[in-house]
Amino acid sequence: MKVLSVVSHPRQDSLTFGVAGRFVQGLADAGHDYEILDLHRIGFDPVLQGADEPDLSVAEQSFSPEVEMEIRRMKEHDALAFIFPLWWLHLPAMLKGYIDRVWNNGFAYGSNHLHHQHVLWVALAGVSKDEMKKRNYDEMITHLLNVGIADYCGVSNSKVEFLYETLDSHPGHYEMLLNQAYHLGLNYAKDH
C-alpha cells in the first residue's frame, strides 16, 4: 500500500515531525511505501481563493495549478495519514486549508469521491486523555474527522488516534509517544 503522510507543523524539529518519522518507519517495516508531504516546506497556501472555490453547479471543475498538483499527488496513493498538533481542538489552519482547497468538489465529493482505502488522523494533544474526555472533546473531534470529512468524501475506513500530554517533555514520555507512532505505522492497515 502507498500511504501519503501529510504533516502540518511549522518546525521540522518538532515532536510532530518526530512522530511522523517514527510513523513512516513503522509503515516501511510493515512493507508499505510512503511519501511525507510537509505542507510548510512546500509553501502550501491554505487560503482558498476564487480559482479553487467549489462550484456545485458542475460535476467536475478545474482548479489552480497548486491544487491540481496536490490532487495528482493524492491520486498516486492508496491511503492517507495526517499528523498534526491539535490546536484549539481542531486542525491547524495549514491542514484545514489543505483540505478546504484540495478535497474539493468533483474530486473528493460531489460527482466523485476519494478512492483511498484508509485515512488515519494522528492528533498530538497537549492535554491528558481525561481532560479530552471531560467535555467529550475526543468524541467531537473523532466525529468531525471520521464522519464530517472522511466519510463525506467516500472513505468509510477512517480512524483518529490521539497522542496525549505532548507538553510533558520528560524523555521517557516522548519515547512512549514515538513508540505509539511507530506501532500506528507498523499496524496501519491491520488497525483499520
Neighbours of 167 (CB within 10 A): 11
Query: Amino acid identity of 191?
Result: D
pLDDT at 191 over 70: no
Selected residue with higher pLDDT from 81 and 192: 81
Domains of the chain, earliest start first: 2-186 (3.40.50.360)
Q: State the first-to-last Cα distance of the chain, in angstroms, to the nearest integer.
A: 13
DSSP string for residues in 99-148: HHHHS-BTTTBTT-----S-EEEEEE-SS-HHHHHHTTHHHHHHHIIIII
Spatial separation of the C-alpha atoms in residues 146 and 159, rounded to whole Å? 6
**pTM across the whole model:** 0.96
pLDDT (tens digit per residue) in 30-81: 999 999 999 999 999 999 999 999 999 988 899 999 999 999 999 999 999 9
What the block records as the C-alpha cell of 75 is 491520486
